[in-house]
Amino acid sequence: MDNPLFVHFHRSPEEKALACLHADLSPNIQFSFGDDSSFAAQTRILISGRPTKEEINRFPLLEKLIIPWAGVPMETFKLLEDKPDIDIHNLHHNAVPVAEYALVLMLAAAKNILPMARALRQSDWRPRYMPDTAILLTSKTALILGYGHIGRVLAKILKAFDMKILATRNSVESLENEDGVEIHPPGDLHSLLPKTDFLIIALPHTSATEGLVGKSELALMPEKSILVNIGRGAIIDQKALYDSLKQRRIAGAGIDVWYNYPRDEDSRANTTPTDHPFHELDNIVMSPHRAGGLNTDDTERLRMSHLSVLLNAAARGEEMPNRVDPEKGY
Domain spans of the chain, in order of start: 5-93+296-315, 95-286
User: Is-same-fold flag (5-93+296-315; 95-286)?
Assistant: yes
Amino acid 150: pLDDT? 96
DSSP letters, 187-241, are GGHHHHGGG-SEEEE-----TTTTT-B-HHHHHHS-TT-EEEE-S-GGGB-HHHH
Beta bridge partners of 286: 255
Q: What is the CATH number of domain 5-93+296-315?
A: 3.40.50.720
Are 291 and 326 spatial neighbours (Cβ–Cβ below 8 Å)?
A: no
Q: Say what percent of the chain tops pLDDT 70.
A: 98
What is the per-residue pLDDT across 192-224, written as a single tens digit (0 to 9) for each? 999 999 999 999 999 999 999 999 999 999 999
Residues 184 and 48: their CA atoms lie apart, in Å, by 34
Amino acid 295: pLDDT? 66
| CA-derived radius of gyration, the chain | 22
Pick from 159, 185, 288, 307: nearest CA to 233: 288
What does the DSSP 8-state code read for residue 99? H
Amino acid 219: pLDDT? 98
Residues 130 and 135: their CA atoms lie apart, in Å, by 15
Residues 169 and 104: their CA atoms lie apart, in Å, by 24
H or E element in which residue 305 lies: helix 297-315
Amino acid 177: pLDDT? 82
Amino acid 80: pLDDT? 95
Are 205 and 236 spatial neighbours (Cβ–Cβ below 8 Å)?
A: no
Domain 95-286 has CATH 3.40.50.720: yes
Are 93 and 298 spatial neighbours (Cβ–Cβ below 8 Å)?
A: no
Residue ranges for the chain with pLDDT beneath 70: 1, 173-175, 294-295
DSSP letters, 238-292, are HHHHHHHHHTTSSSEEEE---S---SSGGGGGS--SSSS-GGG-SSEEE--S-TT
DSSP helix/strand/coil, 18: helix
Are 293 and 299 spatial neighbours (Cβ–Cβ below 8 Å)?
A: yes
